[in-house]
Amino acid sequence: MKKKILVLCTGNSCRSQIAEGYLRHFAGDKAEVYSAGVETHGVNPRTIKTMADDGIDISHHTSNYVDEYSSVDFDFIITVCDSARERCPYFPSNAKIFHQSFPDPAKTIGTEEEISNAFRNVREQIKEYCRSWVNENL
């Protein structure tokens, strides 16, 4: 039976989208993976590009509000930023909750190269977290 995983972030535009992409990739048919935000900001185009650069297509992802999934019985909830952890709504389930905060690459100020590097660095941090998480929990 597939496990249901929800990844939560503030705006469901960068970090949670990256995590959803990698969790789907590493979990394969072992899990159904969703992502949402405590707000919705739309999927950041740089997020789509940085994932495509690593061979993961998330161009079809949408930015979803966490309440859309209130009726889903999740096995795992992963918060990927402190704000989402603090604002995480109560889910009437026995979901096991994990938290790992990652920097928000969308807040990077600088040249295009510096911003792209920030997205790549966060992508690599989330990729390694997701790889380990799947190996340890699925």
pLDDT 10s digits, 31-80: 999 999 988 989 999 999 999 999 999 999 999 998 899 889 999 999 99
User: Which residues partner with 6 through β-bridges?
Assistant: 34, 77
Element (H, E) at 104: none
Cα distance between residue 105 and residue 84, in whole Å: 16
Nearest to 49 by CA among 125, 106, 92: 106
DSSP character at residue 59? T
Domain boundaries, the chain: 3-137
Pair of tokens at residue 46: 């740089």
Q: What are the strands, taking DSSP E only, across 39-125?
A: 76-79, 96-99
pLDDT of 91 strictly over 80: no
Cα distance between residue 71 and residue 53, in whole Å: 35
**Which CATH architecture group holds 3-137?**
3-Layer(aba) Sandwich (3.40)
pLDDT of 88 strictly over 70: no
pLDDT at 94: 84
Active site residues: 9, 81, 88
